[in-house]
A and B are shown apart, each in its own frame.
Chain A
């Protein structure tokens, strides 16, 4: 039974990262209609930057700087991904972000090398709760995901900027009529989502080393979490992330560690299939 709870605890912490990336994908999708295939790259960039800057600076400062730089990079990505007005369809945008993800791997590989990197966690102590080992890093990850979910929900519902994001996705033309600049909306959405994913990446690296090529699996796990809520719900993306993390850890613990990604992907495929009953493409 201890093993079981231990797996749950680890699952919720890794699932928090999926949830954070999933919520970022939902935010961008709701504001722009674009599914950003390069979202996971932001987590990798932030993690590797923190590692590199951390060699010269105090780690917290390095983490903050890395997050800011990543948010800035995310706005650059937004400029490219949104593309040219009236010419770039959402599917073209998706393919552009695929191109960005490939290109980013080259840049990350050239800048940081191929060795997976990790650094000190928030604390090197561990709590023992009835035989279950809880690292402070796990707790921080879970809390950050939860706070991010609450914050994003409040942001979208109760702030002018948040409502502008939602409005421009619901009806781009109407949003433009009331004077919203769709490009600015996209930039803001990518920047906020980029910063959020960056925080996830900064916190992930001490628990699981990140390498230049980790972006793909982070993106796809995040997408799986987001699909849980049909790419529309922040709340369900959070739950989806937790659930996915726990399922993966249970597979690691009880079946075979090699199957964790496979099971996660199968779960996602089934979820998408299940979703397809409700939503129709137009």
Chain B
């Protein structure tokens, strides 16, 4: 077979696998959108939150996996998205700071603006930082998230400070309100869309450049890839996804308060990515689902009065979740630096190979 033919066969196979994957993704997304209508009322919220966090985690895993940069402030972009869409619908006047519900913009428009604002901020932060070593972006994004969070208190006439604000308008398309199960379905539909975009991105020319950067940055730079620009694009994409998730969060909770946007939220996104594997977008979804579920269970556990014969203090829910997630992050990064799922998969295939090896006579 000539080498051209080999290439053609390979290309054909790749296209077919691509089609199979596409169908699988569409079916999975359809299932994910159908699921909330079957869930009990109390579980829909949890399921919705899983999807919202998955959106953020998908962006972050691309940044960590391909750009080799970690953002400790994705919660900041999530916050910006949420408050942007929330405050826009309230019709705040910047001069008099009066709330005028009549003047507020349509929630749909507000949700659309949220990722744009987050992305714009990411451009401003990202341009000087993308050429620096990883820890600078880590601290800069953390600083940004802290600034955004502190502003909630400092600008409490806008945000209600620690008491938060209630968002009265509801998200609606053509007269149909998007709440409850419908909201969750929309969110998971967007998760599917984000997965599709991300896998296409990884397979495109830009994706090959990103893979080259991930494999060997100096070599990628030497072969003419504009490393800083690709990294910046990933950072902005991740911020936009977080902003979109935040914008949707507003019409999930219909209430905005500082507790949902603390620094720990930013750090949880890192834990989600480390579970699913750095650079794995499907892993990010698994990580988000896992963390939201585990956090929910830990909260239930922590509110018991006693646990295994121990009297639990009122701070037990915080102690449990901080302890578990901190320990999880340490152990994963120590033993599976590319992520828990890929680490386990690697170990499994190692064992299988060892088992299938023929015994020597």
Contact = CB atoms under 8 A, between A and B. Distances in A.
B132 interface: yes
Grouping DSSP codes into helix (H, G, I), strand (E, B) and loop, the A interface class, with mixed when no group exceeds half, is: helix
A279 B132 contact: yes
A107 B143 contact: no
Contacts of A216: 263
Nearest to B320: A106
Interface in A35-75: 35, 37
A276 B328 CA distance: 33
Interface string B323-361: 101111110011101000000000000000000000000
A262 B218 CA distance: 36
B326 A272 contact: no
Contact of A96 (B146, B154, B330): B330
Interface residues of B, number: 48
Nearest to A83: B334
B331 to A, nearest CB: 8
B333 A92 contact: yes
A219 B238 CA distance: 26
Interface stretch (B134-142, B164-172, B249-257): B134-142
- Most B CB contacts (10 A, CB to CB) among A104, A262, A274 go to A262
B334 A105 contact: no
Contact of A220 (B128, B146, B270): B146
A121 interface: no
Contacts of A180: none
Contacts of A114: 315
Interface stretch (A122-130, A145-153, A167-175, A253-261): A253-261
A138 B218 CA distance: 48
Grouping DSSP codes into helix (H, G, I), strand (E, B) and loop, the B interface class, with mixed when no group exceeds half, is: helix
Interface in B306-326: 313, 315, 318-320, 322-323, 325-326
B157 interface: no
Interface stretch (A192-200, A239-247, A263-271): A263-271
Interface in B74-128: 125, 128
B72 interface: yes
Interface residue tally on A, bucketed by range: 35 or more
Interface string B252-289: 00000000000110010010001000000000000000
A259 B68 contact: no
A265 B337 CA distance: 30
B143 A268 contact: yes
A274 B315 CA distance: 42
A280 B320 CA distance: 40
B334 A261 contact: no
B135 A94 contact: yes
A95 B266 CA distance: 13
A103 B326 contact: yes
Contacts of A275: 132, 136
Contacts of B132: 272, 275-276, 279-281
A116 interface: no
B70 A94 contact: yes
B319 A109 contact: yes
Contact of A102 (B135, B140, B267, B334): B267
B138 A94 contact: yes
B5 to A, nearest CB: 41
B19 to A, nearest CB: 36
A110 B134 contact: no
A260 B125 CA distance: 20
B31 interface: no
A259 B154 contact: yes
Contact of A95 (B140, B146, B274, B325): B274
A114 B143 CA distance: 24
B150 interface: yes
29 contacts: A35-B138, A80-B330, A84-B335, A89-B337, A95-B329, A96-B329, A96-B334, A98-B267, A99-B330, A102-B267, A102-B322, A103-B323, A105-B322, A105-B326, A106-B318, A106-B322, A216-B263, A220-B146, A223-B139, A256-B154, A258-B153, A262-B154, A269-B144, A272-B128, A272-B136, A272-B140, A276-B131, A280-B131, A282-B217
The 4 A-B residue pairs whose C-beta atoms are closest, nearest first, are: A103-B326, A99-B329, A102-B326, A106-B323
Interface of B: 68, 70, 72, 125, 128-129, 131-136, 138-140, 142-144, 146-147, 150-151, 153-154, 217-218, 263-264, 267, 270, 274, 313, 315, 318-320, 322-323, 325-330, 333-335, 337
